Structures are given as C-alpha cells and as structure tokens.
Amino acid sequence: MKSLDKQRIKLVKGKKEYFKGIGKIKFEGRKSDNPFSFKWYNEKQKVGGKSMKDHFRFAIAYWHTFCGTGGDPFGAPTKKFPWDENTNAIERAKDKMDAAFEFITKIGAPYYCFHDVDMVDEGATLAETERRLEIMTDYALEKQKKSGVKLLWGTANLFSHPRYMNGAATNPDFNVVAYAGGQVKNALDATIKLGGENYVFWGGREGYLSLLNTNMKKEIDNFARFLHAAKDYARSQGFKGTFFIEPKPCEPSKHQYDYDAATVIAFLREYDLMNDFKLNLEFNHATLAGHTMAHEMQVAANAGLLGSVDANRGDYQNGWDTDQFPNDLYELTECMLVFLQAGGLKGGGINFDAKTRRNSTDLDDIFHAHIGGMDVFARALLIANDVLKESKYVELMKTRYTSFSRGNGAKFAKGKLGLEDLSRIATKNGEPEVRSGKQEMFENIINQYI
C-alpha cells in the first residue's frame, strides 16, 4: 500500500477510507503467516486473572503515528500522508482525525494520547488556538462515542514553538510562563471535555543549555508553582484523573530538570505534589539516563508512583532518542516482571510513543509497527507471568533476604537496632560468609521461559 497513491483512498459512504484493504487486526496465533494479524496479543486472553486488554490499556500516540512525516535534522520529510493535504487547517485536522480513528479502531487499541498541536495546528493567537481546539474536540467527542476509543491522556506541546526556547514553565521571562499557562489551560480543558483519564507533563525545554545564565533554584521553584496552578485549576473543573510527569535527562535541553524517576520523585516530595502526580516512564528516556527501563519502573513502583508507560526502544549503538518500536523480548520480560509484581500501572496504560523509520514510507508500515509492539508486550507478559508462577524465581529472590526475617536481622528491619548494636553483633559474629548473588542462574530462568 503506497502512501502516495491517492487513487487507493476509497470513498465509503461519503467518507474516505485511508487504510484501504486492511480490516480489523485479529489474533491468529503464532502459526499464522498473515502479517496483518496478532501472533501473541489476544485481548481477551486472561493472564493472572486479568485480560491482556486490561493489563496494557494500549494507546496510540497521535504525534508520531499521524503527524510524524519522517523529517530529521539532515533531511526533508519522506512520508506524504493522504490526510495531510487540505489547505484549510480545520479540514486538514478533521481528515487526520478520520484517519486516526480508522487506524485506532482497526488495530484494536482502546486508547489514544495527544498534544494540543497534534490535533490541530496552533492559531495566530491563544484565543484562535482555543477556538480551533473547541471545534476539534467536538469532532473527537463524536468519534470517541462512535468507536468506543477513549483518551488515555492529553498534554500541551510546550517545546516546539520558538517562544519556549528558554523553557516554558521554567522560562526566565514571566510572559512566557504565562503563555505556557494559557496553553496548558486549553489542553486541560480539551482533556477534561474528552473524558481524558490522565494528563501528562513532559518538559523538553524545562531545563537549561548553560548553567552560567541559569538560576536553577528559581526555575525549579517556578516549575512547582506552575504544576500546582495547573493541578488546582483541573481539580476545580472536576478532573479526577492523575497527572503524570515524564522524566527524560536531556534532548532537546542539555540538562532537563525531570532527569529520571528518582529525580522526579524527590521533586514531587519536596514540593508537595505526591498526592496528585505519578510518573509516565519511557524506555528510550530511561536508557538516555543510563538506566534500564526495568530500573526506572522499579524506582517508581517503590514509591507507589508507577503511573504509565511510553513504549519504544532506543538504538543501543546511538546516543539519542530514536523512538523505535519495541521488539526486545528480554528487555520487555524484565520490565513485565516489575510490572506484574507492582500490580500493574496506576491509572495509565502503554502508549506507543514510537515512530516508524524514516524509510518506512508505506501506510501499512504503521500497522506492522504497532502489531509488533503489541505482540512483544503480550509475549513478554506471558513469559513474566510463567516465571513468577511456575519457576522458583520468587522463592530464590526471597531467600537472598531471609536473614532479615529472623533474629537480629528482623530486629534491624523493624528499626530496633542502632549502630552500636550492629558493631556489637559484628564483633561477635566475625567475618560474614561469602554468599553468591547467583546472577547467571537468575538470568537462565528468564531464558528458560522465553
């Protein structure tokens, strides 16, 4: 299917069908050789008492899937989407939304996510942008009602426009902070109107390029004030969902304030935002921060803040955010072990913040990418569930810590031993035995169940 081939866009009941020749993607199992079918993702299949659909709550990212035309710093866009042709901004936005809901319905994802500017181009003024969003959210409401597709989260793009080059909520100029506030208000209104279950803040420009011209303390204080204002406004409008902060260490800023999960958790604690905010973690952001995604998920889970996931992968030979579709089964299995043991995500879902490659120019590549992504998550979930239920993994992990369940270890765990007690016990017990961490044995268990 060629994206450039306008002839293939059929008119169905006066409406265009963009992904012609592709019907609803069904589960056909691993023996099927139909590339337009799921081999592992069977939305109804129960894993640990919960359907795959409910475990993952898959969402499609509006910005990559329907807006990402393949341009990069070295070259022009390579993808000419048939929904991107009308010269009128609203008509073009409606065409894009028709294509979006057609795709989301055919792939069978229950959710989508968007930035304000993905849905419709920004207008010349804040008021014009608001008017455009009102029209488009009316249109989206209709589409949601007809399809049953829901909004997992909305967000505002506070990083692309030149006005945000020195930051949005952390800009040294109050007028820019106020403009960002206006934009977030519009994005919150849109999210609330569409029944959005969550709202995301990703601060690509909330950081600095040089510390020499940056009052970091002031900027971070302002960031917290901004988030409080946004949260108070949304609550006053009846928003009951969760706010997510999405950590990323750098790119586009040299240093971003929401560096990683641990940094964001400390920030939320310091500024009294723990009750309303959780984390939206992304694979390629984790690896840019020098962590694995499993590490980031565990850090968030420890604090009860594992909210949502942006699914993708980095290229492990490159040092930037490549946002490729996930396909690494071992990496995913490690993540699903954390996911299952944490009891899943708190309010969020798995959003494919991933883009097909610049040279994947056919419309059907979008299907292959998402089918692969959903399948690899499903397969990893099944494996992780088997590891937890059938193998000795849980028991072996527990065994490493049994010294804290009895005697002095148990007393220590309850906070009943001071440093002098530890010294006395160590003197009495002498040099501790060398005890293996058995890492290779643990690794083999994963491989056994793959």
Answer yes or no: are the C-beta atoms of 203 and 268 closer than 8 Å.
Answer: no
What is the pattern of x (binds ligand XUL, CB under 6 A) and - over residues 325-354? Answer: ----------------------------x-
CA 263-332-241 angle, 5° bins: 55
For this structure, is 118 an active site residue? yes
**Rounded Cα–Cα distance for residues 339 and 377 (Å):** 11
Q: Which does 369 bind (CB under 5 to 8 A by kind): ligand XUL, Co ion, none?
A: none
Does 321 bind ligand XUL (CB under 6 A)? Our answer is yes
The residue annotated as part of the active site, out of 118, 321, 323, 375, is 118
Cis peptide leading into residue 247 (ω within 30°): no
For ligand XUL, the closer CB: 116 or 189: 116
Residues between 247 and 306 with contacts to Co ion, criterion CB under 5 A:
282
- Which residue has the closest beta carbon to ligand XUL? 202
Q: Give the SS3 label for residue 143.
A: helix
Q: Which does 248 bind (CB under 5 to 8 A by kind): Co ion, ligand XUL, none?
A: ligand XUL
For ligand XUL, the closer CB: 25 or 288: 288
Helix (H) or strand (E) holding 242: strand 242-245
Answer yes or no: are the C-beta atoms of 270 and 254 closer than 8 Å.
Answer: no
**Rounded Cα–Cα distance for residues 71 and 195 (Å):** 32
What is the pattern of x (binds Co ion, CB under 5 A) and - over residues 352-381? Answer: -x----------------------------
**Buried (b) or exposed (e) across 369-396, using 16+ Cβ within 10 A?**
bbbbbbbbbbbbbbbbbbbbeeeebeee
Does 198 bind ligand XUL (CB under 6 A)? Our answer is no
Residues between 143 and 172 with contacts to ligand XUL, criterion CB under 6 A:
155
What are φ and ψ of residue 222, in 5° steps?
Answer: -65, -40
Q: Which does 219 bind (CB under 5 to 8 A by kind): ligand XUL, Co ion, none?
A: none
For ligand XUL, the closer CB: 171 or 253: 253
Smallest separation, CB 309 to ligand XUL (Å): 11
Residues between 359 and 418 with contacts to ligand XUL, criterion CB under 6 A:
none
Does 296 bind ligand XUL (CB under 6 A)? Our answer is no
Smallest separation, CB 353 to ligand XUL (Å): 5
User: Which residues does the annotation mark as catalytic?
Assistant: 115, 118
Residues forming contacts to Co ion in the complex (CB under 5 A) are 282, 310, 353
